[in-house]
Structure 1
Amino acid sequence: MNDSPGWAAPGSPSDGQGSDAGRPAAQPSGTAPGEGTGSGEGTAPGAGSKWSAAQPPPGQWSSPAPGPAPQPAPNPQQRQNPGWGTQPGNPYPGGWDSTPPAAKPGVIPLRPLGLGEILDGAVSTLRGHWRPVLSVSLVVAALTQIVLLLVQRAWLDGLPVADEDLTRAQATEVMGNTALFYALQYFLEILGLLLITALLAPVVSRAVLGQASTVSGTLKAVRPLAPRMLALTGLLLLGSVAAVLLPMLPGILAGSALLTALGVPFGFVLLAWFYVTFALAPPALMLERGSAVTALKRSTKLVKGSWWRIFGISLLIWAIRTITAMVIVTPFVGVALLAAPEGLTSLFNGSAAPSWAFLIISAIGGVVGATVTVPMQTGVTTLLYIDQRIRREALDLELARAAGLDGYGATSPADRPAG
């Protein structure tokens, strides 16, 4: 028997035919098959040989004549089904590697996603489930802007008059207070982003399945996980602060302003690494219902090997969100300037900023801008979490079963990475 594993090459001998045993000896020229080779004894057909007694006459097998080789007649079936390897009755033309199109029960197809599909899924979630999305985003944005408004008012009251001569110590104090104010504003924005991401993760997951969401249903799903969500938010906020301050700590301890300033860019680099590494923790907590520490570990595992991809997508959506928010807030700032005590003149002498009218109208613009734009970024983050699990854990099969798609995944995509 042939011992080759799996299959033999085309044209290779089969059982017993590949050896010389039992093969008749070469016949002399002019000797008919079955005649003796010199002893006068004939060999009966089939006796010790598998060669047929009926052989073609000599000279019938000749080499092809010189010239172009004849072409086979075209197959009508191939003309009807163009493409490499397309078979009759195959409903998915395109070759042997063609796969059925992915099912799309909701806002995204159930397969690894591209950038455009992620952005489209986030916008579709906002448009199709706007009631719970805007309700949650509005409450968190309003609370964030109220805190920021009070802090900004206190900070502006502490600033010296514009025409006042400042000593070096006073100028240093003003610069330090200003840096603290903008740092607080930044971390409040991160806090609101984390909270909205966690609160809207159930809404995005239901949108992926093509299911509707309500405000009451969203709150019911979030309520049991509220303590863990707050714990995770606190850990991420403390980690963000530590990431920024750690490179500046040597300069702060040494009392060197130069050394502290040199640590600022390293702090932002470390903050970017921290944010991307743990960006998927809020949706992991809400959709897997683990602890805060488990969610941090899950985010680290899912981001590993895809850090730059997640960083690029997050940076792009952040830029889009920032530009969109500026477009929304700008008319409110114009109205705030007109409502200031001195009108547009206050823009040049700096008297508009401390007025309550200017601060309140600007805060309203900030609430509107955050309410509309922040869900875009939180939706992208949750879809990135789902995309990473589809790529590594075949989550699309679980989503298809949850969406009620029978028989989905019977033939897995050939290019799916191993889990």
Structure 2
Amino acid sequence: MSDNGGWSDPSRQGDQQKPSPGWQAPPPSFPQAPGYGSPRGYGKPGVIPLRPLSVGEILDGAINTMRRHPGLTFGVSAIVAVIEAALSLGASIWLLSEMGPIPPQPGPAATPQEALDYASAVLGQTAATLGVTLVITVLIRTFLTGFMTVVVGKAVLGKPITFGEALGELAPRLPALLGVTVLYTLMVAVGSVFFLVPGIWLYALFSLASPALVLEHGRVGQALNRSRLLVQGSWWRVFGVLLLTGVCATVIAFVIQIPFNLSAGVGGADMAELGSASIGVQLLSSAGQVVAQTLVAPFVAGATALLYIDQRMRKEGMDIQLARAAGAV
């Protein structure tokens, strides 16, 4: 295998001294064969069949990856979720203590100034808490996304991988992966603030940049461009898969957190009420978030990585390369 595991960008293959087996696309003159966009494919050596995938097969492949590698997926996801919850809870408590208590909610006879002061205090604390939580979430989940992408890459071929091997492949890519994640988040946020449609469009257009960067070992700009090319012409399909994945993840996380929130007595609490709750209540609510994210986060990351692989099989005939790497042909 090559230094990037064979996940070469087809546009950069001419710069390599020799082609590498595995996950690179065939040259334009490569003859079509069963599996090159064919429903027959090359069998199923790993978690997905080696052919263009249906939506159900993408989601099923993400679940199968977690089932085949439970120690890697759930173990690492649990550690990441605990760190994320601890940092978010600590930052929220510190922020709320520094900003001071929220004034009492004004009654019907309150003056406009009292109502404005209350709204400003609630909005300020909520915005500060959400902002810090978002930064922590982006930083922590960048690692989990990259880690799951490496695991999925091996699971598709039916090959085992250890924690050390996955970490060794991911570590050199972490700075660039963080750069892609930050740029992607900012683009979607800016597009959503000015007008919702550009944010949604950018969300799907560059959604495959992270797996492209991790597996192809490119640079930040190259990964964003690769995502654009892979999504181009298939925007609605990519957006639909991402939307369905997000809805499934949200529903699962909500159901998991219900008993924790009800036990803590914050089932209907807003951000201000939760922020002013006792430490025990906040810890119980955070425990629910940890359990939910341990199950949901690897599913979302795995589905996104498989969506990237599916787009490459559809557009670049990578299924035959996968079959060769897996020993199927």
Residues in 2 aligned to 1:167 and 1:384: alpha-carbon distance in whole angstroms: 51
Q: Which has the larger radius of gyration?
A: 1
| Cα deviation digits, residues 94-136 of structure 1 (max 9, x gap) | xxxx985531100101000001111110100011111111233
Q: 2:248 is matched by which residue type in structure 1?
A: I
1:160 to partner: Cα distance? 2.1
- Whether the 8 Å contact between 2:42 and 2:319 is mirrored in structure 1 is no
Residues in 2 aligned to 1:148 and 1:315: alpha-carbon distance in whole angstroms: 26
2:319 counterpart of 1:376: no
Corresponding residue of 2:154: 206
Residues in 2 aligned to 1:317 and 1:354: alpha-carbon distance in whole angstroms: 32
- Whether the 8 Å contact between 2:43 and 2:50 is mirrored in structure 1 is yes
Q: 1:225 is matched by which residue type in structure 2?
A: R
| Cα deviation digits, residues 55-106 of structure 1 (max 9, x gap) | xxxxxxxxxxxxxxxxxxxxxxxxxxxxxxxxxxxxxxxxxxx985531100
2:237 counterpart of 1:289: no
2:121 counterpart of 1:174: yes
- Whether the 8 Å contact between 2:138 and 2:181 is mirrored in structure 1 is no
1:274 to partner: Cα distance? 2.0
Match of 1:159 among 96, 102, 108: 102
Corresponding residue of 2:169: 221
Corresponding residue of 2:328: 405
2:239 counterpart of 1:311: yes
1:173 to partner: Cα distance? 1.5
Corresponding residue of 1:132: 72
- Whether the 8 Å contact between 2:40 and 2:51 is mirrored in structure 1 is no
Percent of pairs identical after alignment?
37
Question: Tell me, what secondary structure is at the counterpart of 1:118?
Answer: helix
Superposition misfits of 4+ residues, deviation over 6 angstroms? none
Residues in 2 aligned to 1:197 and 1:401: alpha-carbon distance in whole angstroms: 26
2:185 counterpart of 1:237: yes
2:86 counterpart of 1:143: no
- Whether the 8 Å contact between 2:261 and 2:284 is mirrored in structure 1 is yes
| Cα deviation digits, residues 338-393 of structure 1 (max 9, x gap) | xx9xxx9x99xx58952111111111110110011111111110000000000111
Corresponding residue of 2:311: 388
Q: 2:144 is matched by which residue type in structure 1?
A: I
| Cα deviation digits, residues 208-228 of structure 1 (max 9, x gap) | 000122212211111122222
Shift in CA distance, 269/171, structure 1 to aligned 2, threshold 3 Å = farther
Alignment of 1:316-335 (within 5 A): 316-335=244-263
Residues in 2 aligned to 1:230 and 1:352: alpha-carbon distance in whole angstroms: 29
Question: Tell me, what secondary structure is at the counterpart of 2:158?
Answer: coil
Residues in 2 aligned to 1:230 and 1:224: alpha-carbon distance in whole angstroms: 11
| Cα deviation digits, residues 236-275 of structure 1 (max 9, x gap) | 2333343344x1xxxxxxxxxxxxxxxxxx2x43322222
Residues in 2 aligned to 1:130 and 1:99: alpha-carbon distance in whole angstroms: 30
Residues in 1 aligned to 2:231 and 2:164: alpha-carbon distance in whole angstroms: 32
Q: 2:325 is matched by which residue type in structure 1?
A: A
Match of 1:271 among 185, 199, 221: 199
Structure scoring higher RCO (CA < 8 A, sep ≥ 6) equals 2
Question: Tell me, what secondary structure is at the counterpart of 2:277?
Answer: coil
Which shifted more, 325-334 or 227-236?
Answer: 227-236
1:140 to partner: Cα distance? 2.5
Shift in CA distance, 385/160, structure 1 to aligned 2, threshold 3 Å = same
- Whether the 8 Å contact between 2:106 and 2:114 is mirrored in structure 1 is no
Count of aligned pairs: 282
TM-score under structure 1 normalisation? 0.61
2:281 counterpart of 1:358: yes
1:163 to partner: Cα distance? 5.6
TM-score under structure 2 normalisation? 0.77
Alignment of 1:59-70 (within 5 A): none
Corresponding residue of 1:255: none
Q: 2:252 is matched by which residue type in structure 1?
A: T
Corresponding residue of 1:10: none
Corresponding residue of 1:252: none
Shift in CA distance, 359/296, structure 1 to aligned 2, threshold 3 Å = same
Corresponding residue of 1:54: none
Residues in 1 aligned to 2:101 and 2:227: alpha-carbon distance in whole angstroms: 41
- Whether the 8 Å contact between 1:284 and 1:295 is mirrored in structure 2 is yes
Residues in 2 aligned to 1:302 and 1:242: alpha-carbon distance in whole angstroms: 23
Alignment of 1:4-83 (within 5 A): none
Question: Tell me, what secondary structure is at the counterpart of 2:74?
Answer: helix
Residues in 2 aligned to 1:405 and 1:152: alpha-carbon distance in whole angstroms: 52
Q: 2:227 is matched by which residue type in structure 1?
A: S
Q: 2:167 is matched by which residue type in structure 1?
A: L
Q: 1:371 is matched by which residue type in structure 2?
A: T
1:330 to partner: Cα distance? 1.5
Q: 1:161 is matched by which residue type in structure 2?
A: P
